[in-house]
């Protein structure tokens, strides 16, 4: 087995963890990881060296963006769960963190998960997302502020439309 394929194989658990946190659905995450691996192995000749893991995260992030773009064209059906009627705040525990992450914009959640969950540097996240490092820092600051506000029970501010 080539060194490239060994590095890809070693990255699979991290890819699955990131995809599950990003999609919040195990089956969808596994599908995206499989598509990522297929594309990476097919495009081995295009890999120009560097960090294999960051390259795989870039592929996964782009696949997820494409998935979200196609889903945005369809109506959203949401089931009402019994747990939705439960209280929020400190007594809700870990559910608040999950809900706070759900409230984040996709780019903010992705940046936060790559830094906090996967341990990537800001520069690596900037490369994965294809944006300047300052944009990553801005997304992280906004994500952290929004999560803190959510956990503190503050209502989200209304956005001004010009």
Q: Which CATH architecture has domain 1-77?
A: Orthogonal Bundle (1.10)
Q: How confident is the model at residue 35 (pLDDT cuts 50, 70, 90)?
A: very high
CATH of domain 80-157: 1.10.10.10
Q: What is the pLDDT of residue 117?
A: 86
- Own/partner contacts of 8-13, CB < 8 Å, gap of 24 or more, are 8/37, 8/40, 8/41, 8/52, 8/56, 11/52, 11/53, 11/56, 12/37
pTM of the model: 0.64
Domain definitions of the chain by residue range: 1-77, 80-157
- Using one digit for the tens of pLDDT, what is the confidence trace for 50-71? 888 989 999 999 999 998 888 7
- Tell me how far apart the alpha carbons of residues 17 and 128 are, in angstroms, rounded to a whole number: 16
Average pLDDT (16-25) is 90
- Tell me how far apart the alpha carbons of residues 138 and 85 are, in angstroms, rounded to a whole number: 34
- Tell me how far apart the alpha carbons of residues 145 and 140 are, in angstroms, rounded to a whole number: 8
């Amino acid at each position: 087995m080539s060194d490239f394929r060994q590095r890809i194989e070693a990255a699979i658990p991290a890819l699955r963890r990131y995809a599950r946190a990003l999609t919040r659905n195990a089956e969808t995450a596994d599908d995206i990881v499989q598509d990522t691996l297929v594309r990476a192995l097919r495009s081995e000749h295009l890999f120009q060296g560097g960090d294999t893991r960051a390259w795989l995260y870039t592929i996964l992030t782009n696949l997820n963006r494409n998935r979200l773009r196609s889903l945005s064209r369809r109506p959203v059906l949401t089931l009402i769960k019994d747990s939705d009627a439960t209280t929020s705040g400190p007594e809700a525990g870990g559910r608040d963190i999950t809900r706070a992450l759900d409230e984040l914009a996709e780019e903010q959640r992705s940046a936060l998960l790559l830094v906090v969950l996967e341990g990537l540097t800001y520069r690596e996240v900037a490369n994965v997302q294809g944006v300047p490092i300052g944009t990553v820092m801005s997304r992280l600051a906004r994500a952290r502020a929004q999560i803190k506000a959510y956990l503190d029970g503050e209502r989200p501010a209304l956005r001004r439309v010009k």
